[in-house]
Structure formats: C-alpha cells, structure tokens
A and B are shown apart, each in its own frame.
Chain A
Amino acid sequence: MMKDSAVIESYITDVAAQLPSRQRADVAQELRSLLTDELNAKPHDPSTPDAALALVRAFGRPADVAARYHAPFVLIEPTDTRGFLLAFVVGASLIPGSNGRLPISLDANTGGILLLAWLGALLLFFAGRSWLRRRSPDAFAWKPSPVRDRDAVNLPLQLGIVLLCVAGIVFYLSPGAPISFLTGGRVAADALRYTEDFLRPWRLLGFPILLSIFALLNAFAALRRRWTPLLRGLSICFLVSAAIQLGWHASSGDLFTSPVIDRSARLALQLLGAALMITAAIETYREWIRIPAPRHPGALSLATEK
C-alpha cells in the first residue's frame, strides 16, 4: 500500500510535468510543503493513504492545477473549435470517393492520406492564427461588415435563374441541337446521343423535374418579392437532391453513346454536383446562424442617426 508521502509525491510529479521547465522545480517544492502542511493539520489514520488521496483529489486534477499556475499552451482556441470541426467536415466531404466510375476518384489509401493532410493543414492554419492573435490582438480586432437582407429578392437575378433553369432543362433533354448550334456545326448533333439506358424515364427525368421545381421556387419568390424560411428550406433541399442526382449520373452507367463525350459529360456532372453540394452547405450554414430581423422598425433607433 502506498504511503501518504508517495501519494503526494506522485501527485506533485503529475502537476509539475505539465508546467514550463522554469517553474517546475519551484512549484513542486512549494506544493510539497503546502500539501504536507495541509495533511499534517488534518486528523487522519497514517496506516492508509486515504486522507492524502482525499486531499490531492480536492486540490484538483493535476492538469487543472497546472493550468492555474500557468496558462496552458493551446493549439486551437476553444472559441475556434466549432469553426475547426465545420471546416474539417466540409473539406472531408469534398474528398472524391473510391467509385471507379467517377471521372475524379481516389483509391481508399489516397483518400485516407488526403483526409489526414486536410486535418494537418487545418491544424496548422488554426494554430498559426491563434498564435498570431495572441501576439498582435489589435490586428484581429473585430471589424463590422454590411449585413445583407437575405430575404430580399434580387429581381434580375431571380429571373436570370428561372431562364437558366429553362435553358438547362432544354439542354439536358436534348443536348445535341444546342451544342451543334453553339459550335457552328463542328460537333454534329448525332454525336451527343444518350444511351438507351440513360433514356429510361426514371434516369433521364429526375434532374429536369428538380430544375423545374427550382425555377418555380425562384419565380414564386420573385412574385412575392421576398424569400421566406420555407422557400429557402426548399431551395436547400433542391440543391442537395440535384447534387445527389448528378453524382448518381456521373458514377453509374453510360450517359452518351460516344465514350469521349460520355467521360467529359460525367466529369462535368461530377464537378457541378460538388459545386451544388458546397452551395447547399454554405446556405445551410447561413440559415443556421441566421438571426430574426428586429420585430419593430424602431428597435435599433440610435439618437445619432436621427
């Protein structure tokens, strides 16, 4: 069984191990003296180390006690933890999968290495930023930025999106004619023929249906002149569904009869799907951190601005 002195010595060793070397010996010597005084002042049974254990446990965990003597070095500030995790998850979700059908794909090992590299890069970035922030806090002082009314409708943009969706549907359903027209006939319309497999309704029609819904959402918002939480939520649902749909097309079955065009098309769909997923992630984050507008027009009425 351990003696009281062994318990105290073990505790001091654990505290001192977490202190800077210049403080270690001095704090250890003082702790030894203080804990000995404390223990001697308490009536206790010297045949068991219970009293010493109770004393040091009441003193605190060695890491906590060391932190009271010296502010510990941190790589990532507690206030940065959420941003760090979010950046890691978003970055990790963009690492291409190991599906060999995808034009951009990675084997499991390379994917794993890329994931670790991303984690390391984030760690370096956040640690560097924390260090700079501690060294020159003034350079990182908060600065105001204009707050956009995210419910406001940008009429030309909304109508542009509607037109783009309509053009996208036409192009998607029959890509040959528009490409032939745009290339001045250099690419024959026949070269862009879908395979029989892709022409099956359940493969071909999913994306145009989603695009139609998105066009309707934008048209509805433009008519109302305001976005609402429901419309924004539906818009995010569209982005995620469309990204999944495009990812599916890019990774399974041939789209075009021409292998060269098929590979280019699947690459374009994969990149477009990834871009939609990133947009969905950004929009979801914006919704998550959104605060309601002031309920009363005069809620922020500053005398200096009257």
Chain B
Amino acid sequence: MQKAHSEVAGRLEQELRRGVLMLAVLSQLGREQYGYSLRQLLAQKGMAIEEGTLYPLLRRMEEQGLLQSEWKIEDGPPRRYYKRSASGDRVFGDLGESWLGLVDTIKNLMEAGT
C-alpha cells in the first residue's frame, strides 16, 4: 500500500515537473548552452531532467521559434548551442508571470484546504 502510494506520488510529481520543463529551460537559456551543459546546469539547480526528454524538447522549442541554435566548436567536439530567441524572451516573460500567479493561487488553495 505504502509502495503504491509512493509510486502514485512519484508519477504525479513527474507530471508536475513536465508541465514546467519548458519554463525551466527558457530560464537557463538567456546565455547559450549545449544540451549536456544545460542538463548539468538544471540538475545543479535542482531540476534534474532525463536526457531523452530534454534533448528532443530543445528541438521542438526551436521549431516553435522559442530558441535559436548554432553549431560551434569550443574546447571539444562540435556541439549545437541553444539560446533564447527574441520570441522566446517574450514567451519567457509571459510564462514566468503566469507561473508566479499560479504558484500564488495554489499556495492560497493549499492554505485554505489544510
């Protein structure tokens, strides 16, 4: 029973994190990063993301015009570096505001519910 409970809680937490992945990525790409360095950076700041999830997400965000990328060679093999585009900057601002509003709302709901 305890195991089932923790499995459900784990799955729900994963879903919660999946919902804010895009915002987390946008937040760190004000300066350019390549895939692995971005993953490390996010993990250091407490937002560990599986590689199989993060790397395709970067491509999809680029296709949506939120990121721009270029291949570069800097201390190692060629790597694709990503950075927020102008459109990504605007979306990041809007999404950030929505997120903060949502956090306040949920906080109020949780306080009222306990």
Contacts and interface: CB of A to CB of B under 8 A. Distances in A.
B55 A34 contact: yes
Interface residues of A, number: 17
A58 B51 contact: yes
Given A30-B55, A41-B36, A65-B52, 11 more contacts: A29-B78, A31-B55, A33-B77, A33-B79, A37-B36, A38-B51, A59-B52, A64-B52, A68-B52, A69-B56, A69-B60
A228 interface: no
A36 interface: yes
B56 A34 contact: no
Interface of A: 27, 29-31, 33-34, 36-38, 41, 58-60, 64-65, 68-69
A189 to B, nearest CB: 75
B80 interface: yes
Contacts of A31: 55
A69 B34 CA distance: 17
Given A41-B36, A65-B56, A69-B59, A33 B51 contact: no
A33 B36 CA distance: 9
**3 tightest A-B CB contacts, nearest first:** A68-B56, A37-B36, A59-B52
15 contacts: A30-B35, A30-B80, A33-B35, A33-B77, A33-B79, A34-B36, A38-B51, A58-B50, A59-B51, A64-B52, A68-B53, A68-B56, A68-B60, A69-B56, A69-B60
Nearest to B54: A34
